[in-house]
Amino acid sequence: MGNDMTEAEPTAKRRVTIREVAERAGVSMATVSRVLSGNHPVPASTRARVLRAARDLDYVANAHARALVGGGRKMVAVVLRQVTSPFYAQVAEGVEAEAAARGWLCLVGTTGGDPQRELEFVQLMREEGARLVILVGGVVEDDAYRERVAHYAHALDSAGARLVLCGRPAPDPDIPALVVEFDNEAGAHAITGHLLSAGHRGIVFLGGLPGNTALDARVAGYRTALAEHGLPPEAAHVIDCGLGRAAGHRAMTQLLKETPDFTAVFAGDDMVAAGALRAIADAGLRVPDDISVVGYNDIPLAEDFNPPLTTVRTPAEELGRAAVRIALRDPEHAAGAHHLLGTHIVVRDSVQPPPPGRPH
């Protein structure tokens, strides 16, 4: 794997050390250290000489040596499936922004959804001494997951680091982890209600992912809304095609071919909605005239879809900011706490009452 003969990896040359700066300035290493760290009384003249020497040599401290003796750099790590998902990217940006504002370094790692890579990354962060690890995104909550996260939590905790679960459940309330997420059930309930109010009764949920907590919650909200409007349980029609544009496109195409007894689609997220929209157009149908479609997340380009998508706004960047803000505040009280962020519907042009001719 990428180890041809021609590969020549950069070999770290010897860097300028504090000793060389000290020699050039004619002082001891300790003095240089004091000048550089700033918080020690050093006469202006010495100070100037040292700074001068450091600049001349283009000295930068060795972060590893510094971390070894001092507390190490304040570092927060975000772990997500992929940065190319607009939603995850926004969460990461929120974390980054909040971290940067406090002078913390933010490291972004992606797993591609592979638990193994997630585990490796968390391990790595433990080695590097991250003080805060934020795991983002829904997951399939099985025993393996619960065990894995419980392990992360204890391992991180015993090293004095904190774990935040964003949009995924804590395996156990007693575990030293913090969860911050959106109220998926409420959001799904609201947007389903929106569809129902427009007169839709045949609403299919596209993009279920059984076991995935985020999606399950949305499905739950969808079912509840249906029930509250007096519809029987059979009225719920959930297609477990998973997330992503391609999945949405595929499932929608299939659905259109087989069971056209619906007038609206509730897509599991906006990317699924994008795929569904395309599939509907490909089938020669129009949104919202023939079929109404709603999404979830309100990604930045949702208003550029055709038609502009009515969806549930989940303030992703705020989720990221909240994760670090909460984790850094009142740690004792916060541990084990569960924070729910609110969402709201953004009405655009993809919903309309069902056409008269179509099944109820």
* Among its own copies, DNA, none, residue 37 binds (CB under 5-8 Å by kind): DNA
Cβ proximity of 291 and 265 under 8 Å: yes
Segment interacting with DNA, rule: CB under 7 A, options 56-64, 201-209, 274-282, 300-308: 56-64
Residues 65-84 close enough to bind DNA by CB under 7 A: 65-66, 68-70
By C-alpha distance, which of 280, 228, 229, 226 is closest to 250? 280
Would you state the torsion angle of the CA atoms of residues 340, 101, 110, 169, taken in this order, to the nearest 10 degrees?
-20
DSSP 306-319: SSPPBEEE--HHHH
Pick what 306 binds: DNA, its own copies, none; C-beta below 5 to 8 Å, kind-dependent: its own copies
Per CB under 7 A, contacts with DNA among 213-242 are none
CA 240 to chain centre: 22
Measured from the CB atom, the residue of 57 and 231 that comes closer to its own copies is 57
**In this complex, which beta carbon is closest to its own copies, that of residue 117 or of residue 344?**
117
Choice between 72 and 260, CB closer to its own copies: 72
Upstream peptide bond of 41 is cis (omega within 30 degrees of 0): no
- Please give the order of strands across the beta sheet that includes 105-110: 105-110, 75-80, 132-136, 162-166, 177-182, 338-341
Q: Is 282 in the site for its own copies (CB under 8 A)?
A: no
- Cβ contact 137:109 at 8 Å: no
Nearer to its own copies, 151 or 344 (CB): 151
Closer CB to its own copies, 132 or 312, in the complex: 132
Q: Which does 250 bind (CB under 5 to 8 A by kind): its own copies, DNA, none?
A: none
Site for DNA in 26-55 (CB under 7 A): 26-34, 36-37, 40-43, 45-46
The span from the CA of 230 to the CA of 284, in Å, is 33
Residues 308-337 binding its own copies (CB under 8 A) are: 325, 328-332
Which of 21, 135, 161, 351 forms a contact with its own copies (CB under 8 A)? 161
Q: Please report the DSSP string for 100-166 in residue order.
A: HHTT-EEEEEE-TT-HHHHHHHHHHHHHHT-SEEEEES--B--HHHHHHHHHHHHHHHHTT-EEEEE
Q: Are 349 and 289 in contact (CB under 8 A)?
A: no
* Residues between 45 and 104 that touch its own copies (CB under 8 A): 58, 60-68, 71-72, 74, 82-84, 86, 89-90, 92-93, 96, 98, 100-102
| Binding partner at 293 among DNA, its own copies, none, C-beta below 5 to 8 Å by kind | none
Which residues, in sequence order, are CB contacts of 215 under 8 Å at separation 6+?
A: 138, 207, 208, 209, 243, 268
Output 202 or 288, the one with its CB closest to its own copies. 288
Q: Find the angle CA(111)-CA(117)-CA(118) to the nearest 5 degrees.
A: 75
Q: Which of 32, 36, 50, 106 binds its own copies (CB under 8 A)?
A: 106
**From DNA, its own copies, none, which one binds at residue 28 (CB under 5 to 8 Å depending on kind)?**
DNA
CB atoms within 10 A of CB 223: 20
How many chain residues bind DNA (CB under 7 A)? 30
* Binds its own copies by CB under 8 A, chosen from 38, 160, 230, 232: 160
* Number of neighbouring beta carbons within 10 Å of residue 291: 28
Q: H-helix or E-strand containing 24?
A: helix 18-25
Among 158, 197, 254, 259, binds its own copies (CB under 8 A): 158
Candidate residues 142, 301, 340, 353; the one interacting with its own copies per rule CB under 8 A: 301
Tell me if 297 sits within 8 A of 87, measured CB to CB. Answer: yes
Instruction: Report in angstroms how near the CB of residue 127 gets to DNA at its nearest.
Output: 8
- Give residues in contact with DNA (CB under 7 A): 14-15, 17-19, 26-34, 36-37, 40-43, 45-46, 59, 61-62, 65-66, 68-70
